Amino acid sequence: MRIFIDASLIIYLNIPLSESDAKIIEDFYKKLLGEDLYTDVLALDEAIYVSKKKYGIDVKDTIVLIDNVILPYVEILSLGNMEYLKAREYILKYNLKPSDALHIAVIDNYNLQAIATEDSDYDRTHVKRIWVK
- For residue 53, CA distances in Å to 11, 15, 49, 56 come to 11, 12, 6, 6
Give the CATH number of the domain where residue 108 resides: 3.40.50.1010
Domain count, the chain: 1
For residue range 62-96, list pLDDT tens digits in order: 999 999 999 999 999 999 999 999 999 999 999 99
3-state secondary structure of 121: helix
Domain of 74? Answer: 2-130
pTM metric for this prediction: 0.96
For residue 101, the Cα-to-chain-centroid distance in whole angstroms is 12
Q: Give the pLDDT score at 133.
A: 81
Q: Give the pLDDT score at 40.
A: 98
